[in-house]
């Protein structure tokens, strides 16, 4: 009997020993993360912003599918691909430092990767690249198709709906490089199909030295060739959209000189309906010349211009800046007069035309979504009852977020502003910052 109980004890001891070894082995197991060797990083925008109306009804809808390394059957019908960016809707006014549409339940994606569950970029030189997808480097064929606006995946569409090819290009992606890709309208020609071009910019912001206390911005005019000449009108008929602080304006000229001014006392972040944006200039930061913006689809990188994040006297110890920024664009030969710019006597910058315009960067744009209340017109700064300071609106170049022991703290961004036909867009990247302590 003693021998029998000894056998039981030994058996249970053996079982417990095996269980303990499994736990130890599990806790010591090496975790392997999925990475793409020698990856490049890609962010994609559908920048076809023409309205679908009676004049464009015969054009393909600006709703796209991107396929990298496509596969075709014997009849030439596309049947698959290595990387799929489906349901690409027209881009949002603001593409922030993090993946767009995070948590989005809609089938529409305003950028790639957006809400797609793909491997994204790491933090490189302190800059968060989670808005860019990892892709294999090397030469790849990239195609874009216009597709019906529906939740149905591209490769489940009928054959006739998978034949509207817009772009077909071969691109050599270099390892470790960061790329921004856009589908653009090439010209204002009205023939079918509409002339489309693929624009690819090899970004340099992760290789450049930037100060944490400065805001950085560069500007591009990626409008269709001939757009400004075909749209010389002012925006006097579009004041309602202007009052709602959207990113829509009129055409900007093909060559414009760029200036900036800084104003104090932006409205709070996040936007509060009807909260005013101050028209008071910060002394010493009025109509400062930066450079020239020329319409082009050439993919070089525009210079980054800097401006202080704390232009006004700081009473917060470098924690919270309440300023907002105004970018002024004037045709060569026009110069801003001292004081707030008001080129047009009727509406100021709200009455812009291709010769002049101004982009306000303020919390009043509600992260690029625009405001929708009639009270918004009381928020928009002006220097008289009829003279408005800006033509259109984008988010503040400063981002506000909880960090450390502070419920809200200001952080500088590195931003790109793009003029495309009658709209402006912003893409920002941000350096890593301490998370909230509580």
Instruction: Give 155-191 pLDDT, tens digit per residue.
Output: 999 999 999 999 999 999 999 999 999 999 999 876 6
Cα–Cα distance measured from residue 373 to residue 78, given in angstroms and rounded to the nearest whole number: 46
Asked if residue 182 and residue 304 are part of one domain, the reply reads no
Whether pLDDT at 246 is above 80: yes
What is the pairing mode between strands 138-146 and 64-72?
antiparallel
Q: Tell me if 208 is assigned to some domain.
A: no
Give the pLDDT score at 240. 67
Q: Which residues pair with 109 in a beta bridge?
A: 88
- Per the CB < 8 A criterion, the answer to whether 425 and 417 are in contact is yes
Q: What's the DSSP call for residue 245?
A: T
Query: Which residue in 214, 242, 278 sits closest to 365, CA to CA?
Result: 242
Average pLDDT of span 74-100: 94
**Shared-domain flag, residues 44 and 144:** yes
Strand partners, 73: none
Shared domain for 218 and 195, answered yes or no, is no
User: Same domain for 227 and 190?
Assistant: no
The token duo for 378 is 């009381």
226 membership: H or E segment, kind and range: none
- Taking a C-beta distance cutoff of 8 angstroms, is the pair 133, 112 a contact? yes
Of the three residues 156, 174, 203, the one that is the final residue of a domain is 203
Q: How confident is the model at residue 34 (pLDDT cuts 50, 70, 90)?
A: low
d(CA 38, CA 173): 10
Mean pLDDT of the chain: 88
Residues 136 and 243 in one domain: no
| CA 310 to the chain's CA centroid | 24
- Residue 21 within a domain: no
User: What integer pLDDT is reported at residue 21 of this predicted model?
Assistant: 46
**What is the DSSP-derived secondary structure letter of residue 369?**
T
CA–CA distance, 68 with 83 (Å, rounded to integer): 5
Residue 16 lies in a domain: no
How many alpha carbons fall within 13 Å on the CB side of residue 155? 14
pLDDT at 189: 75
CA angle at 306 for the pair 344 and 325, rounded to the nearest 5°: 40
The predicted-structure confidence for 115-135, as pLDDT tens digits, reads as follows: 888 999 999 999 999 999 999
Residues 160 and 227 in one domain: no
Give domain status of residue 17, yes or no: no
Residues 186 and 321 in one domain: no
pLDDT of residue 100: 63
Does one domain contain both 64 and 150? yes
pLDDT at position 173 is: 98
Strands 196-203 and 178-185: antiparallel
49: cis peptide before it, omega within 30°?
no
* pLDDT above 80 (res 102): no
Structural domain includes residue 163: yes
Question: Quick check: 149 pLDDT over 80?
Answer: yes
| Same domain (yes/no): 393, 426 | yes
Q: Which of 229-233, 293-297, 321-325, 417-421 is least confident? A: 229-233
Q: Is residue 226 part of a domain?
A: yes
Integer Cα distance of 81 and 69 in angstroms: 5
* Of the candidates 151, 83, 160, the residue with the CA atom closest to the CA atom of residue 117: 83
What domain count does the chain have? 2
Both 189 and 217 in one domain: the answer is no
Q: Percent of the chain, pLDDT > 90?
A: 68
Q: Domain of 108?
A: 39-203
Mean pLDDT of all residues in 293-317 = 97
Task: Tell me how far apart the alpha carbons of residues 215 and 9 are, in angstroms, rounded to a whole number.
Answer: 71
Examine the fold and report which residue of 146, 176, 203 is the final residue of a domain before the chain moves on.
203
User: 417 and 323: one domain?
Assistant: yes
Residue 184 lies in a domain: yes
Q: Is 117 inside a domain boundary? A: yes
Look at residues 329, 335, 331, 341 and name the one whose alpha carbon lies nearest to residue 418.
329
Band of pLDDT at residue 32, cut at 50, 70 and 90 = very low
pLDDT at 236: 61
Mark which of 171, 203, 235 sits at the end of a domain: 203
Q: How far apart, in whole angstroms, are the C-alpha atoms of residue 147 and residue 163?
A: 9
Is residue 16 over pLDDT 50? Answer: no
On whether both 148 and 192 belong to a single domain, the answer is: yes
Provide φ and ψ at 154, rounded to 5°. Answer: -55, -45
């Amino acid at each position: 009997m003693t021998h029998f109980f000894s056998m039981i004890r030994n058996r249970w001891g053996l079982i417990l020993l095996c269980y303990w070894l499994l736990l130890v082995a599990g806790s010591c197991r090496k975790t392997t993360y999925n990475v793409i060797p020698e990856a490049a990083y890609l962010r994609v925008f559908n920048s076809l912003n023409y309205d679908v109306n009676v004049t464009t009804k015969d054009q393909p809808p600006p709703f796209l599918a991107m396929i990298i390394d496509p596969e075709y059957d014997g009849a030439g019908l596309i049947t698959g691909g290595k990387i799929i960016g489906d349901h690409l809707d027209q881009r949002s006014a603001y593409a922030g430092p993090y993946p767009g549409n995070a948590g989005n339940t809609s089938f529409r994606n305003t950028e790639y990767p957006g809400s797609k569950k793909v491997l994204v970029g790491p933090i490189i030189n302190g800059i968060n690249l989670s808005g860019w997808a990892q892709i294999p480097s090397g030469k790849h064929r990239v195609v874009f198709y216009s597709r019906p606006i529906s939740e149905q995946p591209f490769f489940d569409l009928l054959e006739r709906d998978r034949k509207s090819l817009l772009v077909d290009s071969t691109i050599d992606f270099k390892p470790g490089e960061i790329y921004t890709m856009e589908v653009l309208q090439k010209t204002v020609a009205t023939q079918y199909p509409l002339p489309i071009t693929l624009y690819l910019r090899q970004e340099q912001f992760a290789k450049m030295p930037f100060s944490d206390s400065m805001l950085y911005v560069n500007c591009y005019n990626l409008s269709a060739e001939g757009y400004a000449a075909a749209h010389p009108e002012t925006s006097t008929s579009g004041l309602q959209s202007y009052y709602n602080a959207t990113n829509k304006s009129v055409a900007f000229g093909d060559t414009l000189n760029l200036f900036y001014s800084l104003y104090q006392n932006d409205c709070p972040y996040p936007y509060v309906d009807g909260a005013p944006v101050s028209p008071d200039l910060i002394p010493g930061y009025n109509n400062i010349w930066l450079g020239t913006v020329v319409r082009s689809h050439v993919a070089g990188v525009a210079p980054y211009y800097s401006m202080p994040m704390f232009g006004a006297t700081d009473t917060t110890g470098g924690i919270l800046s309440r300023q907002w920024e105004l970018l002024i664009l004037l045709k060569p030969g026009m110069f801003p007069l001292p004081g707030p710019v008001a080129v047009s006597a009727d509406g100021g910058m709200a009455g812009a035309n291709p010769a002049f315009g101004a982009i306000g960067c303020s919390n009043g744009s509600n992260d690029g979504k625009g405001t929708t209340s009639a009270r918004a017109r009381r928020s928009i700064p002006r220097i008289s009852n009829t003279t408005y300071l800006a033509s259109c609106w984008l988010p503040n170049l400063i981002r506000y977020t909880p960090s450390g022991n502070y419920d809200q703290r200001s952080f500088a961004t590195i931003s790109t502003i793009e003029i495309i036909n009658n709209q402006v867009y912003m893409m920002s990247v941000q350096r890593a910052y301490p998370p909230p302590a509580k």
